[in-house]
Amino acid sequence: MPEKDHKKQLLKLREALDYQEDGKLSEFACKSRFAIRKREEEGIVQGHRQEFSIDTDRILHSLAYSRYIDKTQVFYLIKNDHITHRVLHVQLVSKIARTIGRLLRLNEDLIEAIALGHDIGHTPFGHDGESFLSELCQAHHLGPFLHSIQSVRFLQRIERKGRGWNLTLQVLDGIFCHNGEIHLKALSPDRQKDFDQLEKEMKTKEADPHIDIWPMTLEGCVVRMADTISYIGRDIEDAIRLGLIRREEIPRVCKEVLGDKNGTIVYRLVEDLIINSLDKPFVSFSDEVAEALRELKVFNHERIYCNAKVKEQTPKVRLMFELLFEKFLSDLEKGNENSDIFTGFLDGMADEYMNNTPPAGMVRDFIAGMTDEYFLNQCKKHLIPEIRISRFI
């Protein structure tokens, strides 16, 4: 069969899949054929892959996704191979969210793309790194650094030497609105959005990082809930493994409602969310489970994330961020083209990025994309005092 006929046959198969969604998916799901891209691509229109599946593939093949492999989730500078890194976290979010989405009859391709891309913009050294980089950005008049916005920036404006991946609005919106740190019992989609609205919301978020912006799809809402489900018990297991807490310290009401092991916690949260969201235009936990989850978040914050042992290296890491930022900013201002910010990041970058990004913004983007190891190697290379690797056990 000629290649042209092959393509026609594959196109018909994809079109059939698109229209099967009408009978298969919930009335509240986002159908693949309603995907919105900023630029139409002939290869997509005539290809065999569904829209959101293409976005998943593009995220998986991005350079930023490859760097998940050595980015901190919570605990950094730890010699323990079994502590969660961000590459595992996003896979857990994807699996949990797709399980929920399947039972709610939502679009699993859209869920997977949002889940795998939601933390692309995270800095080295987790939320501490994000905080340090944000302070530097504000000191250089860039506004606060937010990893959710940086994820969109990487995927749309930095990857592929500034050309970006031309992802769908629904995926980018879900990535931007994924904030699993804010506690909510229920979440409803804000469906009336376009690319202009997304840009406005990102500017609003930069102006007030505490404002809560909700996803435009129910699939985005599911990923946001799954983000919390994936880390809340897993962080407890990691903390127990490192000797930071003991299992019997978990609050009694949390153990009674959710259990005291990650597997049980995940199962009960997923089960409750499905039961309370079935055939509804929103996702929701029951009152009892939502309150137990809120209390567990408080416990994690006080006993794990703010634990003095976890923060032992914080002053040194902050100093390293400051020194690296100033080093690369100085290289840009001096035109030092032998610097790694030129050779490893800006070389070949599109004119649109170069002309519209201030030097401090280029440094922000370079540092935000680093893995923990690359960051430490840069510090060693530039004679910044090496940090002692700590152990809790």
Model confidence pLDDT, tens digit, residues 11-48: 888 888 888 999 999 999 999 999 999 998 877 777 88
Amino acid at 331: D
**Which residue among 273, 305, 337 closes a domain?**
305
Tell me the chain's radius of gyration from C-alpha atoms. Answer: 22
pLDDT over 80 (residue 249): yes
Decide if pLDDT at 191 tops 70: yes
Residue 366 belongs to domain spanning? 314-381
Contact 155, 62 (CB under 8 A): yes
69 and 181 inside one domain: yes
pLDDT reported for residue 65: 93
Same domain, 299 and 320: no
Q: Nearest CA to 239 among 38, 15, 29, 78?
A: 78
Distance, in Å, from the CA atom of 259 to the CA atom of 267, rounded to the nearest integer, reads 10
- Does residue 23 lie in a domain region? no
Confidence of residue 2 (pLDDT cuts 50, 70, 90): low
Q: Are residues 244 and 319 in the same domain?
A: no
173 and 66 share a domain?
yes
Residue 251 lies inside a defined structural domain of this protein: yes
Residues 229, 140 share a domain = yes
Helix or strand run (H / E) with residue 237: helix 218-241
- On whether residue 387 sits in a domain, the answer given is no
The stretches of the chain forming alpha helices (DSSP H) are: 3-24, 42-45, 51-60, 63-66, 86-103, 108-117, 126-139, 147-153, 169-176, 195-207, 218-241, 252-258, 262-277, 287-300, 314-334, 340-341, 351-356, 359-368, 372-381
Percent of the chain with pLDDT over 90: 75
Task: Determine the Cα–Cα distance for residues 103 and 94; give it in Å rounded to an integer.
Answer: 14
Q: Is the pLDDT of residue 389 over 70?
A: no
**Domain shared by 293 and 348, yes or no:** no
Element (H, E) at 195: helix 195-207
**Residue 84: CATH number of its domain:** 1.10.3210.10
Q: Final residue of a domain: which of 282, 305, 328?
A: 305
| Residue type present at position 371 | T
Output the average pLDDT for the chain. Answer: 92
Cβ proximity of 107 and 56 under 8 Å: no
Determine the pLDDT at residue 80: 67
State pLDDT tens for residues 288-342.
Answer: 999 999 999 999 999 999 888 888 888 889 999 999 999 999 999 999 999 999 9
Please state, in angstroms and rounded to a whole number, the distance separating the CA atoms of residues 336 and 325: 15
Residue 18 is assigned to a structural domain of this protein: no
- Predicted structure pTM score: 0.94
Q: What residues form DSSP beta bridges with 168?
A: 37
**What mean pLDDT do residues 56-71 have?**
92
User: How far, in Å, CA of 157 to CA of 149, rounded?
Assistant: 11
| Residue 1 forms part of a structural domain | no
Instruction: Please indicate, yes or no, if residue 19 is contained in any of the structural domains.
Output: no
Point out the domain boundary residue: 305, 338, 361.
Answer: 305
Q: Is residue 271 part of a domain?
A: yes
Residues 57 and 138 in one domain: yes
Share of the chain above pLDDT 70, in %: 94
| CA distances (Å), origin 237, targets 84, 87, 243, 366 | 10, 17, 10, 32
Residues 205 and 329 in one domain: no
CA distance linking residue 180 with residue 178, whole number of Å: 6
- The per-residue pLDDT for 284 is 98
